[in-house]
Structure 1
Amino acid sequence: METEKTAETSCSGDHGNQKYTENDRNTEEGAVTDNRDKMKKNITVFRGIAFVVGTVMGTGIFITPNSITQRVNAPATSIMVWLAGGLMAGIGGLVFCELGTMIPVSGAEVAYIRKIYGRQPAFVSVWLIHFLLGGMRLAIGVLGFSEYFWSLFYEDPRDVNWWLNKLVTLLVTYIIVTMVACKPTLILKSIVLFTATKFLATFVIIGAGAYYLAQGHTENIAVGFTGTNTDPKEWGDAWNGVIWSYLGWEEICCVASEIQNPQRNIPIIVLASISILTGLYLCTVISFHIVIPLKDMIDPASSAVASQFGLITMGEAGKVILALFVVVSTLGSVQCSFISNSRYIHSGAAEGLLPSCLTLVSKRFRTPIVSILYCTIITTIFTLIGGIDDLIGSASFTRFPFFVLCSVGVFVMRKTHPDLPRPYRVPLIFPALFICFGLFVFITPFLNEDWLISLVWILVLLMGVPLYYLLMENVFNLKFPKRMDSSATAVLKKLLDCE
């Protein structure tokens, strides 16, 4: 077997299923084993849709409507931004459908970039997005949970003791981690339950908004586009919020190795879930704007918009009920994110881009337990040091360079691998549009006053290049990284009963 050879795909089986033919990548001191095929294939179409909806519909729709309206300053403009976000998520989902059915292994953009461009770009993507910042999305989820949880007891959740807030947040995180690591089937069933709760929450909001409108309350929504803010800096921030709220449409591709019949089911799951999400988001945002006056929506002190909505429509009881719904909703989203994030890390290691100890799978639970534990550590750090708004901006901005690479990859693969079976073929206008959109999202953070923060993230991203040559190419012939990895792998295998 050739050393550090780029993984190739081949067709095998009666149904044209594809798999990496090079599962074991030799190194000087051993082999990196691709254990992705050892995990349970327990994701059906129904569970897949619940997984995507459960991942996407968490803190976003229940927190960001305030900040987005603050940026654009008009209800109709806010609704149009949400619609545009849904359309872009749908286009991105179609792009990933072709890549996900053509390369049906867990890892999403990590696996696709590795296949299309080679090891170096794939290493940079896994280094920044998943290895370094992998806990960011999880931290946003648990911080969103804490905000609504404390709104049940405090008029302003920010009044709660800092240490108490972090303690409760981390305790909930560790309970979820235990379930994700040790009860994979139970966690999928609970995701279905929590997703049903999300639907119920949005149905309550949509129903209350419709009732409010039927009573003749049109004064808030009648503002329309009046007073729309045209400042491109503010629009950039608004886009970040909407993009974050839809982010997760790609997550089903990160667990492709666990999907039953992925070539058939990935497009069904992606298209169905994005259609459901866009419809629910639009109706929910419209209901928010029907009920909540613009002056309250743009109040910088307002963030728990669902609680605000419940207070106006149903009084104190409504505030408590909707806050409870959102608490449960965010817990479901965090569960989904822990599953997908750990699979990103596991796939990066399986591709030979991260320490091989991260490929270990529990013999008993058939889960990538070492990757889950690593994600837990990073999530803990971001939970302790980060604020929701800061994390949301960074989470959106850092993902899109790699989404653009994947979209370009559709054109590249059509040219370099024209005969590779494609159970789904996306019309090329869609990856072209998504490339333009991704570049727009990447550029807009440099238009606001916090552009230096974006520059820092670019420098962190570029650090991946020398790290690649230092760690992957081992230009200085260092021995201790591989020895440390081998030792850690041996210890963790024995300690956690892994293979």
Structure 2
Amino acid sequence: NGNSNNQPKSLRNLGLLSGICLIVGTMIGSGIFISPKAVLEGTGAVGPCLCVWAACGVLATLGALCYAELGTMITKSGGAYPYLMEGYGPVLAYLYSWMTVFVLKPSAFAILSLSCAEYASTPFYPECTPPVIISKCLAAAFILLIVLVNCLSVKLASYVQNFFTAAKLLIIFIIVVSGIVMLAQGNTQNFKNSFEGAATSFGAIGLAFYNGMWAFDGWNQLNFITEELKDPYRDLPLAIMFGIPLVSVCYVLVNVAYFSVLTPTELLQSPAVAVTYGDRVLYPVSWLVPLFVVFSTFGAANGSCFTAGRLIHVAAREGHMVKILSYISSKYYSPAPALIFNGILAIFYIIPADINTLINYFSFAQWFFYCLTSLSLIIMRFTRKELKRPLKVSFIPVTVPIIIPVVVVIVSCYLVLAPIIDKPEFEYLYCTVFIVGGMIFYYPFVHRKFSWTRRVMSE
């Protein structure tokens, strides 16, 4: 194994197709199949619900274009971490890695694995809900399998991602085509007067966007593996410009298909919308839906693990995590210690009864860092003019639209504040205290580098 100062470089063996599959495969998890009702609850009607899904796709694309310029300007893996490091210095970069490494990445990995386990075990318990212990043990097994695959081969992990992305696009295609058939047969009653009863409050629309963007989460995943792309200057922006609009169109069309069969009330009452839809439209092959939900969640969990390992590795390489987490396998060229660490944390997150609440409260902090990252792009346009910029955040080949990162910054601020204003709760304060509390470890172990830590912390 190498170390932070003398380590083998990760092989650049991921091409454009793998990049698109990573974006699509990570963004499309279980949410669009299980319960897209949160957006409908926030908007109150079918018309604005579809508008919010489309607007979320536009926002995700704009944010990803900002990340595309940052990724081609600073060609380091780790997502927002290296951009925050260049834009603001080590403290904010450390706090981002602290929050993401210890909460967001492993808990998201755990949630996806639990969703996969629940759907995989359901056929064996046709008359009842699978026992919790069975679901949790199966989820732990999925986590161990995914970590093993990612440790043994970057290419194998990429092939797994490509396969499961193709599988989830297939079931989306089936749902969309069947929805078009239902519409052609005259099932359009849910689209008549579709804006009646729409919610108009600041908080309600904000929460609808908030939940919609949660389903789009993953639009920045390719920036976590920039160092492993064959040609990041070409593949990063192209994968973003193909992948995110593809997901956006899929999400809107799938929701249209749902509303061709289910009334808004039925959709809100359904525990798993795609399964309810399949039972009504795809019988006798409705079993395909839960099967492909398993494929979808497994692929999303694999993508989450793949990118989490790169963030942990880069943070450790910069001295913000324990030194051993910066090692790369000299045989498999994978950040094995970082992947294993993420897997261990994910297994711990499986133990609590419900961690979805935790994720929801920490998401507002994630948007805070999205805001800072987009703002860093604006700042570095003026402070780091010497950096090479192979891509501009614009389709016009000149240094213009600062308007794009400005829009992303404004909307990010809105998404941070909207849920807190609409429903202020102490949990947001607890999350903030946890994030800022990371400074307790930063000051002695990273900034001061106490002598007894120098053997385990990188210089």
* Structure 1 residue runs without a partner (length 5+): 1-23, 25-30, 487-499
Q: Which residue does the alignment assign to 2:225?
A: 255
**1:431 matches 2:393:** no
| 1:386–1:323 Cα change, 3 Å | same
CA contact (8 A) 1:243 1:396 kept: no
Kept in 2, the 8 Å contact 1:232–1:447? The answer is no
Letter in 2 for 1:288: Y
Letter in 2 for 1:315: Y
Shift in Å, 1:153:
4.7
In structure 1, the partner of 2:454 is: 482
Q: Name 2:38's counterpart in structure 1.
A: 67
Name the TM-score, length of structure 2 as normaliser: 0.93
Code of the residue aligned with 1:463 in structure 2: it is G
Matched, 1:471 2:440: no
Which residue identity does 2:426 align to in structure 1?
A: L
Q: Aligned equivalents of 1:381 and 1:346: distance in 2?
A: 20
Q: Displacement of 1:141 after TM fit?
A: 1.3
Per-residue deviation, 1:485: 4.9
Once residues 361 and 144 of structure 2 are traced to their aligned partners in structure 1, the CA distance between those partners, rounded to angstroms, is 24
Structure 1 CA distance, aligned partners of 2:359 and 2:92?
24
- Cα distance change of structure 1 residues 241 and 143 upon mapping to structure 2, 3 Å threshold: farther
CA contact (8 A) 1:292 1:312 kept: no
1:33 aligns with 2:5: yes
TM-score of the superposition, structure 1-length normalised? Answer: 0.86
Partner of 2:84: 113
1:276 and 2:246 aligned:
yes
Distance 1:151 1:240, change over 3 A: farther
Distance 1:136 1:225 in 2: 36
- Please give the alpha-carbon distance, in whole angstroms, between the structure 2 residues aligned to 1:72 and 1:150: 34
Q: Structure 2 CA distance, aligned partners of 1:392 and 1:325? A: 24
Relative to 1, partners in 2 of residues 1:180 and 1:115: Cα closer, same or farther, differing over 3 Å? same
**Contact 2:324 2:456 survives alignment (8 Å):** no
Change (3 A) 1:149 1:77: farther
Partner Cα separation in structure 2 for residue 468 and residue 485 of structure 1: 11
Give yes or no for contact 1:135–1:379 (8 Å, CA) kept in 2: yes
8 Å Cα contact 2:42/2:207 also seen in 1: yes
Aligned partner of 2:271 among 296, 303, 310: 303
Show the counterpart of 2:181. Answer: 211
**Which among 342, 358, 368 is matched to residue 401 of structure 1?**
368
Distance 1:156 1:210, change over 3 A: farther
Quick one: structure 1 residues 327 and 156, their matched pair in 2 at CA, closer, same or farther if it must change by over 3 Å? farther
* Residue identity in the other structure for 1:305: V
How do residues 273-352 of structure 1 correspond to structure 2 at under 5 angstroms?
273-299=243-269, 302-315=270-283, 317-318=285-286, 320-352=287-319
CA-to-aligned-CA distance 1:446-471 (integer Å, 9 cap, x gap): 13446211111111111123432122
Residue 445 (structure 1) aligns with: 419
Alignment of 1:159-178 (within 5 A): 159-178=129-148
Change (3 A) 1:326 1:132: closer
Aligned to 1:387, what secondary structure does the other structure show?
A: coil
Output the CA distance in 2 between the equivalents of 1:355 and 1:388. 26
C-alpha separation between the residues in 2 aligned to 1:156 and 1:364?
48
CA contact (8 A) 1:68 1:238 kept: yes
In structure 2, stretches of 5+ residues that fail to align are 394-400
Aligned match for 1:145, one of 116, 123, 131: 116
1:221-240 correspondence to structure 2 within 5 Å: 221-240=191-210
Residue in 1 that maps onto 2:333: 366
Matched residue, 2:19: 48
Residue in structure 1 matched with residue 65 of structure 2 by the alignment? 94
Whole-angstrom CA distance in 2 between matches of 1:364 and 1:450: 50
Which residue of structure 2 aligns with residue 492 of structure 1? Answer: none
**How many angstroms apart in 1 are the aligned matches of 2:24 and 2:331?**
29
CA-based RMSD: 2.2
CA distance in 1, matches of 2:78, 2:316: 10
Larger deviation, residues 71-80 vs 442-451? 442-451
